Amino acid sequence: MSTGRPNQKRRTRKDLLDAAARLMKQGRRPSLEEIAEEAMVSRATAYRYFPSVEALLVEVPLDLAAIGADELFEGVSTSDPLARVARVDDMFDTMMSANEAQLRLMLASSLERSVRGEQDETLPMRQNRRSPLIEAALAPARAEFKPADYAKLSKALAFFIGTEGLVVAKDVLQLDDAETRKVKRWAIAALIEAAKR
C-alpha cells in the first residue's frame, strides 16, 4: 500500500496543531472548521487528521511543551550516544510529568480510533516527536554503528522513550519514578551497546 507523501502529511498535521495553538492564544476555543481555515486546509482534510476538535485540542499543549532538537542539544558538546539519548529521555520525563493527563487522553483517543477503524492508514495517527530527537541524539555517533543497526537502534529506543513507556511503568509494572528511570536507563544503555556490537 502506498502511503503517499509522508513528510507532507506530517507537516499538514503539524500545521493544524500550530493553527489551533495560535487561535487558543487569542483566548478562544476554536472549532475544527476555524482551525482548518487558519491552517489553510479544507474542513474535510482537518477531519481526516482529527475526528473531533477535542482530539486536536487535547494535543495542542503537548505540542507546545515539546522541545526541538536544536534547543535540546544547544551547547551540548558530548557525542556520547548514551548521554545524549538520556537527555532526550529526561526531556520526555519532564514533559510527561507535567502533562500526564493530556498524554493519556491523547493515547486513549488514538486507541479508540484504531479499534473503531476510523483512522486512515495513510495518515499519521499521532505526532512523532520522539524519533527526530532520538535521531539527533545518535547523529554524532553514527559512525560507531553499522547502518542497519543504527536504523534499528533509533526505532528500538522509541519503545522506551515516550507515553507508552510511562503507561507500562506506572500501570503494568507499578514502578515509582526513580525505579522507572533506572530501568529505562538500563534498557537504553543495553540497546546502545548491543547496536555497537
| pTM, to two decimals | 0.75
C-alpha cell belonging to residue 170: 506506572
- Best CA proximity match to 79, nearest among 139, 149, 158, 155: 139
Share of the chain residues as helix, strand and coil, in percent rounded to the nearest 5: 75, 0, 25
- Best CA proximity match to 73, nearest among 58, 91, 60: 91
Other beta carbons less than 10 A from residue 116's beta carbon: 9
Please give the single-letter amino acid code of residue 130. R
In angstroms, rounded to a whole number, what is the distance separating the alpha carbons of residues 137 and 196?
A: 15
Q: pLDDT (tens digit, 0 to 9) for every residue of the chain, 197 residues total?
A: 344 577 788 889 889 988 988 988 888 889 999 999 999 999 999 988 888 888 888 888 877 777 889 999 999 999 999 999 999 999 988 888 888 887 888 788 777 777 777 666 665 566 678 899 999 999 999 999 999 999 999 999 999 898 888 889 999 999 998 999 999 999 999 999 999 98
Q: What pLDDT is attached to residue 119?
A: 63
Cα-based angle 175, 180, 184 (whole degrees, multiple of 5): 145
In angstroms, rounded to a whole number, what is the distance separating the alpha carbons of residues 53 and 23?
A: 13
